[in-house]
Structure 1
């Protein structure tokens, strides 16, 4: 029986394919808006113009200066909790760090030097807070509303007192709002950007000075905190918390005040100083140092490029060797636990009873681990009280404990951390009017910690599951930025309207997370910001693996895990091929044999005999 010949489709004028009126490498303009001018925004400001042709970059930051958390935090004793030489950009070395664990102002100064070197202030708009972000499906663009401070020379007002709502009126005095759009939205706000007051009754009733470590302002902004706290010598200070901020601020204030009472609800491991081979070499020069201070001779030697590269490489290699200790009941975990227990007992010899309330039963690194130079020694000082009894309420003159004891205080410092829910403090509205706040309830879910389904053309760094329990966070941020740049370039080159991760890819990553963490110490019972401040539950802050594992995972994007939209009116996916030529051929300008240039040649190795 003869086959039936289908009726031939004759294309009409409306659906006839037309070549694009552009060359294949005549990249259309693309606009990227970044929220945040901390490490993520600074790296984006460098890499996006480098990697993406014909790009317009704008970086909005709510603060009056660059640096993100390193701008916001100014409390006494602020310092990095990993070796400073591992807390710098891979491509921008600093050879004159003052100490092994660098102080906060020095880190911010380093960031400012990077901003200045790469002339990033042309992209950065300070005191500009994004208050609303909406994905517009017809255009494939993000529509943003930004609140700008009118008098940029003036300092923004300090944070509202506890239990007081922040003003949000569009007509708020001293501010104005305007609209902006973006083809790609990149958020680099981090998990340590939204500090919060502790939930303690009576906090607002205190009549003394009340501070939060993330908003530690002590008067004249031109003064250092040492100068500003000079008149605290006869003051009684209460420090609430036992996280990294409290561990740093207590020893910094201890010599400068009459008395400190450290109110501690939980337990934490205080580690020995970083124990890599390079640290051991430094400790031979100063065996008693918990935070080795680099000498002028050290800094001079670091000017030798070969020596410095080797020093930095070995130090970071040591740091990236710690991951096995995060696995439950591993030999590395047991060894770390024994070493840190002995270290804490030794340091607390003057007040051995503190160990009964401070040394945990959970594994090392279940909570964020810090070396805490000087903290245990400060707890043993005569003018420091360690108070493990829980707080009942705050009174007008101090803190009342659950056993009825009242501690009179002149100053209370809340070292109680941030909002770790990863719920952004402004609406981010994706497809079908769904907000990220709704989608990320009860917990956030992402694809490789860089994007979420239902929110096209939006990528992030330091979002949920971006943290590392060991290794350097900065190399991960760099790779996240490179991932976003690759996505933006694909979108631009292929003239796409949108790029969006598939729902099933997010679900598969979620399943991986759920099966990875039960094998680690992070799943043990301990109150941690890794688990949104809870003792148990989903780990939302950490990458499911080592730092090096994350770097490899982000190295080559799996474009098959994404779905794409073509511009309205375009049906042929090969539209991006354009008019069949390159721009240099069309205009008879530029290099038309660029593939022979030294920077383009990939010379294969010749096998040895």
Structure 2
């Protein structure tokens, strides 16, 4: 055995010296008095959850929530197209700690969800932290000051720039969302059209604006599937241009709801039901439990050749053929030959029914170009329109449109755009060792193939809040994930998806709009899997820099906060974890 002679005064080998002298920090354990500036980017669900939890759980934090719009809501503020609604039951699309007992319908409209978000933000008085009209234009890490320098364009309510400003932050949380960046489709002549032209992400009019008009809707994603049935009763004619295929699922309905109505798609809660939800919390809790359990019970459908997958293909094909019986050519062109869930699955209430209406045409012939008066397809036919609606989706590459430059000049635009064929990350929330103190909510591989997305957002926020708390408690100046942890997580992620339907051949935003490629949008597992993985941070996967050369400098001067400030010096007796006695 090797014996090392230690100096009892320093704890170091005899003769060894510190490179810098150590002195006790004059504060109680874990309470240096240091404050952290935290910048939250975005005021959608992510920003609202983060604002509430940071305010609740962290002291010595100066929080700013920067939002480019002039209201909260994120994607639910920016999207307002006809028929907009959530394809998750409304009571499952609510924060766990802030239920809404008074949803009007089983599937809530976008307008109602926006109202819910505004109400939550107002209840928790987030206006203290909100900085509207701030559009992030660049972020750069300063290694000397250990801070992020943030550049913002100041924009008015129409999005027009009228100035610039600079801010610094010790910690940045990105919550800008993936369903807010849109572009016009790359179709020849798209800007030559002389009629009315909308993108689904910037649709300022209601369906009544198309009264008596001829309308073209381009796309077959979830937006198009909601827009077509919304316009059909008003328009003289609606032509839906569809280049791909999609599964239209039966609307989700809990067993509890099916007892009341065979059709959940348009189910409206009665005043009596809303009142009972409010007045009987136990009843409401059981109601929501039943729905969430069933949502979490369909994860098996995402696995290749599973019994649930086979059953879903048969059931959905039968459903679609039945609803499209009046126009069988649509069923032939539209029913997929790929697995259920390979593309995002949507219940699409009323969509198939609208397609068989006399004033709706389904056009699967490819578009050659857009003219001043309409659309020409590759077979030479030209159709004229008053309005063209581009329901062609969003930029889902995850590559930021602004430079986010960390250590060594590492720009996320290049890291996630050129260096790898996929956005590399750690548990969807951290980028890599060159981007310390930078966290992401709803980042790559953060959506769900099944289950409640908002619960995942809440758990990501909990993880990030715990990380900031550690930085405050231990007086950490930088916290950065190790590259080997990023590499191991990405290896796990890619291996997992090999056994799922998401990696089969179909064009999907899950794969950044490609038919084949790495799955970049979805969590590699079920919703419950994500909750359990994020429950306990792996602090060993990070590197840290402390303000003191001694890693235990943060323990202070030997006193506790309770002794110094006059608190309860026997507080531990009120927090006893009493073990059960075995019988």
Matched, 1:605 2:580: yes
Query: Which residue matches 2:567?
Result: 590
Q: Secondary structure of 1:312's partner?
A: helix
Shift of 1:318: 0.5
Offset, 1:97? 0.8
Following TM superposition, by how much is the alpha carbon of 1:325 offset from its aligned partner in structure 2, in angstroms? 0.6
How far residue 347 of structure 1 moved from its aligned partner, in angstroms, is: 0.9
User: Could you tell me how far 1:4 is from its partner in structure 2?
Assistant: 12
| Kept after mapping to 1: 8 A contact 2:189/2:370 | yes
**How far apart are the structure 1 equivalents of 2:442 and 2:187?**
29
In structure 2, C-alpha distance between the alignment counterparts of 1:8 and 1:460, rounded to whole Å: 46
Q: Verify the 8 A CA contact 1:456 1:499 in the aligned structure 2.
A: yes
Q: Greater CA deviation, 20-29 or 355-364?
A: 20-29
Q: Distance in 2 between matches of 1:529 and 1:408?
A: 30
Tell me, which stretches of 5 or more residues in structure 2 are unaligned? 7-12
Q: 1:343 to 1:253 in 2, by over 3 A?
A: same
Question: Which of 213, 234, 254 is equivalent to 1:235?
Answer: 213
1:156 aligns to 2:159 (yes or no): yes
Deviations 1:201-234 (A, max 9, x none): 100100001100101123xxxxxx25xx34x222
User: Is the 8 Å Cα contact of residues 89 and 106 (structure 2) preserved in structure 1?
Assistant: yes
Tell me if 1:202 matches 2:189. Answer: yes
- Contact 2:106 / 2:264 at 8 angstroms: preserved in 1? no
1:447 aligned partner: 426
CA distance in 1, matches of 2:5, 2:296: 66
Query: Within 5 Å, which residues of 2 pair with 1:104-115?
Result: 104-115=110-121
1:335 aligns with 2:303: no
> Which residue of structure 1 aligns with residue 10 of structure 2?
none
Is residue 131 of structure 2 the alignment partner of residue 128 of structure 1?
no
Task: Provide the rounded CA distance (Å) in 2 between the counterparts of 1:243 and 1:190.
Answer: 18
TM-score, normalised to structure 2, is 0.95
For residue 321 of structure 1, report the CA deviation from its aligned partner.
0.4
Where 1:498 maps in the other structure, the secondary structure is: strand
Give the distance between the partners of 1:146 and 1:44, measured in 2 at CA: 20
| Native 8 Å contact 1:64 1:155 kept in 2 | no
Q: What residue number does 1:222 align with?
A: none
User: In the aligned structure 2, how far is the partner of 1:410 from the partner of 1:85?
Assistant: 38
Shift of 1:380: 0.5
Matches within 5 A, 1:401-440: 401-440=377-416
Contact 2:30 2:472 (8 Å CA) reproduced: no
Deviation per residue, 1:371-424 (Å, 9 max, x gap):
000000000011100000010110000010000011101100000110011011
Q: State the secondary structure of the residue aligned to 2:449.
A: coil
CA spacing shift, 1:487–1:5, aligned 2, 3 Å? closer
Whole-angstrom CA distance in 2 between matches of 1:143 and 1:462? 22
Distance in 2 (alpha carbons) for counterparts of 1:76 and 1:5: 78
Match of 2:9 in 1: none
Correspondences of 1:272-351 after superposition (within 5 Å): 272-283=250-261, 287-288=262-263, 290-303=265-278, 304-351=280-327
Change (3 A) 1:4 1:82: closer
Is residue 578 of structure 1 aligned with residue 571 of structure 2?
Answer: no
Q: Does 1:248 align with 2:230?
A: no
Cross-structure match for 2:484: 504
Per the alignment, do residues 577 and 409 of structure 1 end up closer, same or farther by CA in structure 2, a change over 3 Å counting? same
Aligned to 2:452: 472
What's the TM-score once normalised by structure 1's chain length? Answer: 0.91
> Offset of 1:350 from its aligned partner?
1.4
- Return the alpha-carbon distance in structure 2 between the equivalents of residues 435 and 422 of structure 1: 13
- d(CA) in 2 for partners of 1:362 and 1:403? 26
Alignment gaps of 5+ in structure 1: 158-173, 219-224
Shift of 1:290: 2.9
In structure 2, C-alpha distance between the alignment counterparts of 1:213 and 1:282, rounded to whole Å: 34
The aligned residue for residue 169 of structure 1 is none
**SS at structure 1 position matched to 2:184:** coil
CA 1:4–1:335 in structure 2 vs 1: closer, same or farther (change >3 Å)? closer
Partner of 2:70: 64
Aligned position for 1:377: 353
Shift, 1:428, TM fit: 0.4
Q: Is the 8 A contact 2:39 2:65 kept in 1?
A: yes
SS of 1:499's equivalent?
A: strand
Q: Secondary structure at the match of 1:262?
A: strand
How many residues were matched structurally?
569
Deviation of 1:280 after TM superposition, in Å, equals 2.1
RMSD: 1.7
State the Cα distance separating 1:473 from its structure 2 match.
0.3
Task: Compute the displacement of 1:155 (Å).
Answer: 3.5
CA distance in 1, matches of 2:580, 2:36: 38
Q: Please list every run of at least 4 consecutive aligned residues from structure 1 whose deviation after the TM superposition is greater than 4 angstroms.
A: 3-8
Verify: 1:19 aligned to 2:24, yes or no.
yes
Distance across 1 between alignment mates of 2:4 and 2:314: 81
Structure 1 residue 279, shift from structure 2 partner: 3.4
Contact 1:64–1:156 at 8 Å: present in 2 too?
no
2:369 counterpart (393, 398, 404):
393
Corresponding residue SS for 1:505:
helix
Out of 154, 163, 169, the residue aligned to residue 182 of structure 1 is 169
Equivalent residue, structure 2, for 1:165: none
> How far apart are the structure 1 equivalents of 2:572 and 2:328?
70
Equivalent-residue separation in structure 2 for 1:289 and 1:180 (angstroms): 48
How far is the alpha carbon of 1:128 from its aligned partner? Answer: 0.7
Distance 1:242 1:605 in 2: 57
What's the counterpart of residue 262 of structure 1? Answer: 240
